[in-house]
Amino acid sequence: MIRRPPRSTQRRSSAASDVYKRQVIGYSLVTKEKATEMIAEKNFPTTSLLMPMTEERQTLRVNMIPGLLDIINYNQNRKNSNVAIYEVGNIFLPSTAQDGRPIEVPNLALAISGNVVDASYSHKATPVDFFHVKGIVENLLSGYEDLTFTATSEMPSMHPGRTAVIAANGHHIGFVGQIHPATAKKYDISETYVAALDLQAMLELKPAQTIFKEIPKVQAVTRDIAMLLDAKLTNADVISVITDSRVKTLTKVELFDVYQGINLPAHKKSMAYTLTFQTAEQSMTDDEIKNAMTKITTHLIEKLNAEIR
């Protein structure tokens, strides 16, 4: 059972995913430090009360994650080690209006800490990780086109190697990742993963209508491709180049192996992908598949200096 801090409400939501069933409502007023803790920009402008009741409730939040971390701390200090919560509410951004009122922007934030599956006699416990939370976000955004996750190290309160900025159709809509160990230590919580989404941007980008596509009548064809790349390149870089090859029959690109270590140069890594091809009306011929693969490999060699293996 998820316990709540005093004066902060929490309730079940039957519409929520099975993974995070507990909805919480945190404080809109926080400390000046917490108000901008998850913001990459330094000296981000905020709105504060002239005469706050306490120092802990003096500045309007511009991100909801710190409030969720406080709730996780409250629960884990009371032996509730597995916490999965989310909040839908407003953040408050600076405005140039004459009355000085901030802009209220609806946001969705979630936080998961501990195990997503507890240990039993038949299996080991499964702790939450980056890909688990990323999968939740992908399910929430499944209706959006051109969804990208780009690694970032510009958020000091987030783990630089396990945090990504989320964009849809080229527009920034949020971030997902692991709370930095130093930040987790400050909040006195165990390893925690979070995500924050701009609901207003999501509503503006949502298609006006749902367009249904006919189910293909022929079976898809898959081909694997492995390559040696510069170690600094990311999965997003490779997928971007593959999709930019503009092979119309390419329907899916999936990473299935990454290796860096023995028998490879220090500055190189091996990445392998499964490419899925499919047409709507007729099966692809061997020549069509070969031409598609050639076009993709040529693009990878030219753009990323890839060594096809």
Pull the structure tokens for residue 184.
């987790």
9, pLDDT greater than 70 = no
114 and 190 Cβ atoms separated by less than 8 Å: yes
3-state helix, strand, coil in the chain (%, to 5): 25, 35, 45
* Per-residue pLDDT reduced to its tens digit, 65-95: 999 999 999 999 998 899 999 999 999 988 7
**Measured between alpha carbons, how far is 178 from 131 in angstroms, rounded to an integer?**
10
Range in 49-58, 63-72, 151-160, 222-231 with the lowest mean pLDDT: 49-58
265 φ, ψ to 5°? -60, 150
Asked if residue 126 has pLDDT above 70, the reply is yes
Q: Would the pTM count as exceeding 0.75? A: no
Nearest to 249 by CA among 225, 273, 214, 284: 284
59 forms beta bridges with: 30, 48
Q: What whole-number distance in Å separates Cα of residue 119 and Cα of residue 155?
A: 33
Mean pLDDT of 41-46: 78
Tokens read off for 64: 């909801």
pLDDT above 60 for 11: no
d(CA 237, CA 228): 14
**What are the residues whose beta carbons fall under 8 Å from the beta carbon of 134, sequence distance 6 or more?**
149, 164, 176
Residues in the chain: 309
pLDDT score recorded for residue 87:
94
Structural contact between residues 244 and 298, judged by C-beta atoms closer than 8 angstroms: no
